[in-house]
Protein backbone atom coordinates (compact mmCIF):
# COMPACT_ATOMS: atom_id res chain seq x y z
CA UNK A 1 0.00 0.00 0.00
CA UNK A 2 2.89 2.40 0.72
CA UNK A 3 4.37 1.75 -2.74
CA UNK A 4 1.11 2.73 -4.43
CA UNK A 5 0.52 5.70 -2.14
CA UNK A 6 -2.57 4.22 -0.48
CA UNK A 7 -0.95 4.15 2.97
CA UNK A 8 0.95 7.05 4.55
CA UNK A 9 4.67 6.68 5.04
CA UNK A 10 5.99 8.24 8.25
CA UNK A 11 8.89 10.64 7.80
CA UNK A 12 11.33 11.17 10.62
CA UNK A 13 13.51 14.22 9.94
CA UNK A 14 17.04 14.31 11.21
CA UNK A 15 17.64 16.11 14.47
CA UNK A 16 19.15 19.61 14.24
CA UNK A 17 22.83 19.85 15.19
CA UNK A 18 23.71 20.72 18.77
CA UNK A 19 24.52 24.36 19.38
CA UNK A 20 26.50 25.61 22.33
CA UNK A 21 26.31 29.26 23.33
CA UNK A 22 27.98 31.40 25.97
CA UNK A 23 27.43 35.00 26.90
CA UNK A 24 29.46 37.48 28.88
CA UNK A 25 28.23 40.96 29.78
CA UNK A 26 30.31 43.87 31.01
CA UNK A 27 29.17 46.72 33.25
CA UNK A 28 30.98 49.41 31.25
CA UNK A 29 32.19 49.79 27.67
CA UNK A 30 35.53 48.08 27.06
CA UNK A 31 38.36 50.12 25.61
CA UNK A 32 41.30 47.74 25.92
CA UNK A 33 42.06 44.91 23.54
CA UNK A 34 43.57 42.90 26.42
CA UNK A 35 40.22 42.93 28.25
CA UNK A 36 38.42 41.57 25.20
CA UNK A 37 41.11 38.90 24.71
CA UNK A 38 40.83 37.82 28.36
CA UNK A 39 37.04 37.61 28.13
CA UNK A 40 37.26 35.49 24.97
CA UNK A 41 39.82 33.20 26.65
CA UNK A 42 37.55 32.65 29.64
CA UNK A 43 34.56 31.96 27.44
CA UNK A 44 36.55 29.54 25.28
CA UNK A 45 37.66 27.60 28.35
CA UNK A 46 34.05 27.33 29.56
CA UNK A 47 32.92 26.25 26.09
CA UNK A 48 35.62 23.57 25.88
CA UNK A 49 34.61 22.21 29.29
CA UNK A 50 31.02 21.87 28.05
CA UNK A 51 32.16 20.28 24.78
CA UNK A 52 34.31 17.72 26.60
CA UNK A 53 31.43 16.82 28.93
CA UNK A 54 29.21 16.06 25.94
CA UNK A 55 31.94 14.29 23.96
CA UNK A 56 31.90 16.90 21.20
CA UNK A 57 34.34 19.29 19.53
CA UNK A 58 34.00 22.61 17.71
CA UNK A 59 35.14 23.34 14.17
CA UNK A 60 33.37 26.65 13.74
CA UNK A 61 32.87 29.40 16.28
CA UNK A 62 30.78 32.52 15.74
CA UNK A 63 31.70 35.44 17.95
CA UNK A 64 29.19 38.26 18.28
CA UNK A 65 30.03 41.56 19.95
CA UNK A 66 27.14 43.84 20.86
CA UNK A 67 28.50 47.33 21.42
CA UNK A 68 27.18 50.06 23.70
CA UNK A 69 26.25 52.16 20.65
CA UNK A 70 23.79 49.41 19.62
CA UNK A 71 25.94 48.06 16.80
CA UNK A 72 26.74 44.38 16.49
CA UNK A 73 29.87 42.93 14.94
CA UNK A 74 30.46 39.24 14.35
CA UNK A 75 33.31 37.04 13.22
CA UNK A 76 33.41 33.35 12.37
CA UNK A 77 36.49 31.30 13.24
CA UNK A 78 36.91 27.91 11.56
CA UNK A 79 39.33 25.14 12.44
CA UNK A 80 40.45 22.28 10.19
CA UNK A 81 39.77 19.72 12.93
CA UNK A 82 37.09 19.67 15.62
CA UNK A 83 38.64 20.45 18.99
CA UNK A 84 37.68 20.73 22.64
CA UNK A 85 41.07 22.11 23.68
CA UNK A 86 41.27 25.83 24.56
CA UNK A 87 44.96 26.05 23.63
CA UNK A 88 44.02 25.13 20.04
CA UNK A 89 41.05 27.49 19.70
CA UNK A 90 42.24 30.63 21.50
CA UNK A 91 45.08 31.44 19.02
CA UNK A 92 42.57 31.22 16.16
CA UNK A 93 40.22 33.59 17.94
CA UNK A 94 43.01 36.08 18.65
CA UNK A 95 43.90 36.25 14.96
First-to-final CA distance of the chain: 59
Is residue 77 assigned to a domain?
yes
| Nearest residue to 57 via CA among 84, 80, 79, 81 | 84
CB 61, CB 43: distance < 8 Å: no
Is residue 8 assigned to a domain?
no
Is residue 37 assigned to a domain?
yes
3-state secondary structure of 86: helix
* Its pTM surpasses 0.95: no
Is residue 81 assigned to a domain?
yes
pLDDT, tens digit, for every residue of 24-54? 888 877 878 888 899 999 999 999 999 999 9
Is residue 9 assigned to a domain?
no
Count up the domains in the chain and report the number: 1
What contacts 54, CB < 8 A, 6 or more positions away?
18
Is residue 11 assigned to a domain?
no
Domain that holds residue 51: 33-94
Amino acid sequence: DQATGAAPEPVSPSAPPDRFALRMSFPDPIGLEEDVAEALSRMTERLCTTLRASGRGARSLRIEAHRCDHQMHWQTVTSAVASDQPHRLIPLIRL
